[in-house]
Structure 1
Amino acid sequence: MNLTRFKYIPLVGTVKNYKVEYFRKDLIAALTVAVVAIPQSMAYALIAGVNPVYGLYTSIVSAIIGSAFGSSKHLVTGPTNAICLLVAGSMRNYMGLDNAYQLLFLMTFLVGALQITFGAIKLGKVINFVSHTVIVGFTAGAGVLIALGQLSTLLSIRIEHSAEMPTTMKFYYVMTHLNQTNLYALGLGLMTIAIILLCKRINKNLPGALIGIVIPVIFIVIFSLEQKGVKLTGHIPSSLPPFKMVQFSFDSFKNVFSGAIAISIIGLVEAISISKSISSTSRQKIDANQEFVGQGLANLVSSFFQCFPGSGSFTRSAINYHNGAVSRFSGILSGVVVALVLVFFAPYAQYIPNPCLAGVILVTAYSLVDQHEIKKVVKVGKFNSDSIAMWVTCFATILMPDLDYAIYTGIVLSILLYLKDTNKVPVKILIPTQGKESQVIEQEVKSVKEKVDIIIVQLEGNLYFGSASDLEEKLDNLVDKAKVIILRMKYVTTIDLTALNAIKVFIRTVKEAGGILIISGVRSEHKSMLKNSNLVSDIDGENIFMSENEIFASSTNALERARATLNCGIGEKSEKSAACTLIESVSTFKGTNTSFF
């Protein structure tokens, strides 16, 4: 079979290379993932503001399709806390409408379509423009919001039209109505939290969330706590996710499009981050564009089976990998197991107390606040770009009424801060000392006061339109500071026409001031740009030296050119300037005296 024809369907390659002995390992991993996925999916559905059954539907369909078409063989797709929070924020104004669920499924479709488009046009690398600190800030803010949003469920305080209220308003309402707390509900929720934490201390592999839900159910049945005001999950149909056509209309598109963009971006960032995190240990090569397509298809197909948007789950993916999953079949099987549980055991789910699901969510919300990463960012600098982007995104997530705008704020801010940091050109000034020994000292541009024979100006990094003004200003300060200026471009990675124009102006200004400018270390990829921009016409061709494979070769050639220009006669007994002494030492260089190049 020629697998190149099926490169966009990784499952084909998995089937071809699958071995019988893999199945047992994949099945064990799938069963373990399903045990965690069932309570998580139901709990996350509450975050999204929908019936828990839709969380189970999403956990089934997304896991199967995402595993079949994604790049990672360990990533498990389904409901995630951050995505569910975005769903709740985007749908807040529509949940009271008759077509609320139609809008929700349409948004799932749009998320999938956008993600497939991103993958099809090869935007995998664009995801790198979403700063890691923006994600840290968003997840921390999401953790706070999720926790605040679940207090009413944990305390069983009824809030009218809560689906249409911002989380901050819900929190204020709860704080002003604490006297309405149902102590039975609070007790069950705290019991679930205690069981989960205890299971983690005993053995991290114990399904704490599942145990934390099952044990309270026993109390519900024995003591009839439903009659004492404890709200239960209620009826969950014993059936597979039903197919239902997505309802399309222009007005509906307009209502959910903004939210769909934010969810598609964060969903992809989550999926790629988790995939790469696991692949660093598993050594699997991850294709970001293929993962985009896999996540997009998972959401697109899910929209026709009454599912809300999903993404890669860190918890379930880590469990999948650490429990010995060998192939993508483990993710597919986890969806199948959840489907079987839904078909055969759904009637028992009606006894699950909502406060216990809130307890599961609160534990998860706490884990979203990555204290280690936050401390690391702050330690680097309280007021550096990363720290500012993180805190602004965090507080925007908590305080902004629309979470999608919080995401956009963080992304735009991180890009603006990046541009601010990159609009300064690293310029090193190397000047021969005027002592007896040939030495070179590095100085700041503004510290060069007196005129010397020779200056070596080393440019570094990306020279683009955003940094052209800074480049022009620094070069202007050097125009009359030396007889010969060597412009070293060995470490210039990219250069555009705006920055090149700044260099052309500098060359002309130096010539008008009676100086000589030599360019060294020109990389081959920049040669044509220099030629096409007519820069060669502004400078003698003999004064341009290409970068060579031999270390320091172009700089040595440039200095030889400077020697000729300064009329330094090597070997003469007459007193030489410091610059000539330096050039002489370079000419007889045996490997020790030009480390500054």
Structure 2
Amino acid sequence: MEPESPRRNLPVSSPAPSRHGLRRYFPILDWSRSYNRAVLTSDLVAALIVTIMLIPQSLAYALLAGLPPEMGLYASILPLVAYAIFGTSRALAVGPVAVVSLMTAAAAGNLAAQGTPEYIAAAITLAFLSGLMLMVMGVFRLGFLANFLSHPVIAGFITASGILIATSQLKHIFGVSAGGHNLIDLVHSLVRHLPETNLITLAIGGATIAFLFWVRRGLKPLLSSLGLKPRLADLLAKAGPVAAVFVSILAVWVFGLEARGVAVVGDVPMGLPPLTLPSFSMDLWGQIFVSALLISIIGFVESVSVAQTLAAKKRQRIQPDQELIGLGASNIAAAMSGGYPVTGGFARSVVNFDAGAETPAAGAFTALGIALAALVLTPLLYLLPKAVLAATIIVAVLSLVDFSILKRTWGYNRVDFAAVAVTILLTLAIGVEVGVSAGVLLSIGLFLYRTSKPHVAEVGLVPGTQHFRNITRHEVETSPELLTIRIDESLYFANAHFLQDLIYDRLACDQPIRHVVLMCSAVNEIDTSALESLEAINTRLGEMGIKLHMSEVKGPVMDRLKRSHFLQEMSGEVFLSQYDAHVALTGSPVRDLRGAAE
């Protein structure tokens, strides 16, 4: 990428948290103030490149979702305009993506057969309901909920989805009829129909896959070696899928391949997206509610992770809560214009970023390009082989497959490995909805499991310092009358009894303990259940003639404790530092440590 001039270092891409009013919900009011001719040029160039990439992708992902190809184009027009108004990322490119398309197919396929009006209505309603959920979460600032999805689990789900998507498209490569919602059914169906393979279709699909892989790695270096400028070489390399589309259409026309069994896209209506309305049947909403929620969560996580990565490269910021509103508005726009669920795509966002997009206006210009294609180019797509679109999908999704996550988690954390493995296996063996549901539940379960058994250490004084460390890891000073427990986690309902049991077990010894100090330097929260446990510990220790103390309690935690009766009933004291507690309770003289090495 070329070095950036000072002119291109625009202000941060989202309003500061302190801003209120219209700018909170309309980030366009911020970035549009800095808009100038240089930024316009950059956005137009990026839009041209992304439009070239998005036309075959939109058609292909609609095919993956089991929808008419024009719905892929419709989902790439108004949603991009809506994101340009409400979104905070300067580089995120919104539109149909592989994983969400697969989830749409799974959800709508449970209700109706592909190609039926009921199926299409379910997909449109899915976009509307998903958009509604995202908007509500954004207004109530619930973006933090995405943090409950662990990255390893999401990586496992996306890897399994990539395998499922690629396998589901092999039927178009072989030119056979096959189906299934999981890997076992898909493979079994493919094997059963392999004798029906259309060799011409296989040749077209195989050649397209090989060509697209070569375009990704070899075309740009080749063009650069021929003396083309980097920007032009990059543009031509990104146009590789369009070249595959053009050549394949020409081949079908010249050699009459449709009559020889090569499946083609067929009629694609010419014109702008129609005004559509989702179904407001509560019956249908109830049937797709969980699917819409899962699509919303997965789409948001994928989108925000891409947006944050790209924003960091230019020292910009995004606002996750406003991103929820931006993505919600995009999905509602998709539902109102004959589209289906959309989110920010990784591949096209990276292309948008590398092409020099400076503002979300690049997305709006891309929408204009797609609209122009829908008005003018759709009749030319009649003879486009479905095998070429399937090849486009396969090449795109294979980059999602990352089995290295299994190796990394196996070496670092076996619990994470188990979660990733279960997510992958369930997604492949049962289906995408079960897989993503399992991923969500596993992420929450892992959080509860880890925090229900927090790391708790008995600590002692490091000689010559005022620092306290784990007695099993360091040479420290301790007193037989004093037990100091450092709690390395917030205390809440899931781990409150764990702390009780640990203290009671530790006191079951011959040591003449008279004081127990809870060192709370890592405790950010004490909920009502944990408070009740502390009261129980205080009562039990009092019956044993032992005083309970606390040290290094954080301000917000202390404020909450002061609103209860616990501090008045506690048998001991609250010390500002653990060293103060050690000196007061052991009777050790205060030492001058100004010259001591720490």
TM-score (norm 1): 0.87
Change (3 A) 1:330 1:529: closer
For 2:574 and 2:281, how far apart are their aligned partners in 1? 63
Indicate whether 1:418 and 2:435 are aligned: no
**For 1:239 and 1:426, how far apart are their aligned partners in 2?**
62
Deviation, structure 1 residue 85: 0.1
Contact 2:182–2:429, Cα closer than 8 Å, also in 1:
no
Letter in 1 for 2:523: V
Contact 1:105 1:246 in 2 (8 A): yes
Q: Does 2:162 match 1:143?
A: yes
> Which amino acid in 2 is paired with 1:18?
Y
Note the aligned Cα RMSD (angstroms). 2.8
- Aligned counterpart for 2:543 among listed residues 495, 512, 537: 512
Matched, 1:246 2:246: no
Change (3 A) 1:591 1:497: farther
8 Å CA contact 2:542–2:571 kept in 1: the answer is: no
Question: Cα–Cα, structure 1 residues 589 and 497, in superposed 2: closer, same or farther, change >3 Å?
Answer: farther
Give 2:176's match in structure 1, choosing from 145, 153, 157.
157
Q: Quote the offset at 1:394 in angstroms.
A: 1.7
Aligned equivalents of 2:342, 2:465: Cα separation in 1? 68
Residue 179 of structure 1 corresponds to 195
Determine the structure 1 residue equivalent to 2:303.
271
CA contact (8 A) 1:67 1:77 kept: no
Residues 431 and 9 from structure 1, CA distance in 2 versus in 1: closer, same or farther, beyond 3 angstroms?
A: closer
User: After superposition, what is the alpha-carbon deviation per residue over 1:51-73, rounded to whole angstroms, capped at 9, x for unaligned?
Assistant: 11111111122222222211112
Q: Residue 258 of structure 1 contacts residue 404 of structure 1 at CA under 8 Å; is this kept in 2?
A: no
Identity in percent: 29
Single out whichever of 436-445 and 138-147 deviates more from structure 2: 436-445
Aligned CA distance change for structure 1 residues 396 and 591 (closer, same or farther; 3 Å): farther
**Could you tell me which of 291, 294, 302 is aligned with 2:326?**
294
The aligned runs of 1:352-391 (5 Å cut-off) are: 352-381=384-413, 383-384=414-415, 386-391=416-421
Question: Which residue of the other structure, out of 204, 209, 221, is the alignment partner of 1:188?
Answer: 204
Amino acid at match of 1:109: F
Deviation sequence 1:435-460 (CA, Å, 0-9, x none): 99999884469xxxx99233332222
Do residues 200 (structure 1) and 219 (structure 2) align?
A: no
**What is the distance in 2 between the residues matched to 1:366 and 1:188?**
19
Q: 1:375 to 1:442 in 2, by over 3 A?
A: closer
1:441 to 1:346, Cα distance in 2 relative to 1, 3 A: closer
Which residue of the partner structure matches residue 530 of structure 1? 561
1:560 aligns with 2:589: no
SS in 2 for 1:236: coil
Q: Distance in 1 between matches of 2:113 and 2:464?
A: 82
- Residue 170 of structure 1, CA deviation: 3.6
Equivalent in the alignment of 2:504: 476
**Aligned mates of 1:26, 1:285 — CA distance in 2:** 19
Match of 1:491 among 501, 519, 522: 522
Aligned residues: 556
- Cα distance between partner residues in 1 of 2:305 and 2:464: 57
Q: How many angstroms does 1:276 deviate by?
A: 0.9
CA contact (8 A) 2:198 2:261 kept: yes
Over 3 Å counting, the alpha-carbon distance change for 1:592 and 1:172 in structure 2 is same
Taking the aligned partners of 2:35 and 2:241, their CA distance within structure 1 comes to 33
- The one-letter code sitting in structure 2 at the alignment partner of 1:111 is S
CA contact (8 A) 1:192 1:212 kept: yes
> Which ranges of structure 1 fall in alignment gaps of 5 or more residues?
548-553, 565-582
Give per-residue Cα distances to partners, 1:114-166, cap 9 Å, x unaligned.
1111111111111111221222111111111111111111100134xx5x866
**Which residue pairs with 1:36 in the alignment?**
53
- In 1, Cα distance between equivalents of 2:258 and 2:419: 46
| Partner AA of 1:352 in structure 2 | L
Could you say what secondary structure the match of 2:263 adopts?
Answer: coil
3-state SS of the aligned residue for 2:494?
A: helix
CA distance in 1, matches of 2:251, 2:582: 87
1:405 aligned onto 2:409: no
Q: Residues 83-141 of structure 1: CA distance to partner in whole angstroms, max 9, x if unpaired? A: 00001101113135443222221222111111111111111111111221222111111
Contact 1:556 1:587 in 2 (8 A): no
Mapping 1:43-442, distance limit 5 Å: 43-93=60-110, 94-95=112-113, 97-159=116-178, 162=179, 168-203=184-219, 205=234, 206-207=237-238, 208-381=240-413, 383-384=414-415, 386-401=416-431, 403-431=432-460, 442=470
Structure 1: distance between partners of 2:562 and 2:278? 57
Contact 2:121 2:278 in 1 (8 A): yes
Confirm or deny: 8 A CA contact 2:90 2:311 kept in the other structure. no
- State the alpha-carbon separation in 1 of the partners of residues 314 and 377 from structure 2: 35
TM-fit CA distance, 1:179 = 1.3
User: How far apart are the structure 1 equivalents of 2:379 and 2:356?
Assistant: 32
Q: Is the 8 A contact 1:471 1:499 kept in 2?
A: no
Matches of 2:288 and 2:306 in 1, distance apart? 27
**For 2:593 and 2:515, how far apart are their aligned partners in 1?**
21
Distance in structure 2 (CA, Å) of the matches to 1:3 and 1:421: 38
**Partner SS for 2:514:** strand
Aligned-partner residue type, residue 48 of structure 2: L
- Contact conserved, 1:63 with 1:331, CA < 8 A, in 2? yes
Structure 2 CA distance for aligned equivalents of residues 462 and 364 of structure 1: 43
Alpha-carbon distance in 2 for matches of 1:341, 1:98: 25
Using the alignment, how far apart are the partners of 2:318 and 2:77 within structure 1?
Answer: 23
Cα distance change on mapping 1:591 and 1:500 into 2, 3 Å: farther
1:366/1:509 Cα in 2 relative to 1: closer, same or farther (>3 Å)? same
* C-alpha distance in 2 between matches for 1:311 and 1:379: 33
Distance of 1:110 and 1:276 partners within structure 2: 25
Q: CA deviation at 1:528?
A: 3.6
Deviation at 1:25, TM superposition (A): 1.0
Is the contact between residue 493 and residue 530 of structure 2 (CA under 8 Å) also seen in structure 1?
yes
Superposed displacement of residue 409, structure 1: 1.6
Q: Cα distance 1:66–1:504, how it changes in 2: closer, same or farther (>3 A)?
A: same
The residue type equivalent to 2:591 in the other structure is: S
Is this contact kept in 1: 2:39–2:358, CA < 8 A?
yes
Distance change >3 Å, CA 561–CA 188, structure 1 → 2: same
Corresponding residue number in structure 2 for 1:460 = 488
Residues 580-595 of structure 1: matches in 2 within 5 Å? 583-584=588-589, 586-590=590-594, 592=596
* C-alpha distance in structure 1 between counterparts of 2:113 and 2:33, whole Å: 46
What's the secondary structure of 2:264's corresponding residue?
coil
Change (3 A) 1:464 1:279: same
Q: Name the SS of the counterpart of 1:176 in structure 2.
A: helix
Gaps of 5+ in 2: 1-18, 221-233
**CA distance change for structure 1 residues 358 and 113 in 2, over 3 Å: closer, same or farther?**
same
1:11 corresponds to: 28
Task: Name the amino acid aligned to 2:447.
Answer: Y
Residue identity opposite 1:389 in structure 2:
A
1:474 to partner: Cα distance? 1.3
Pair 558,175 (structure 1): closer, same or farther in 2 beyond 3 Å: same
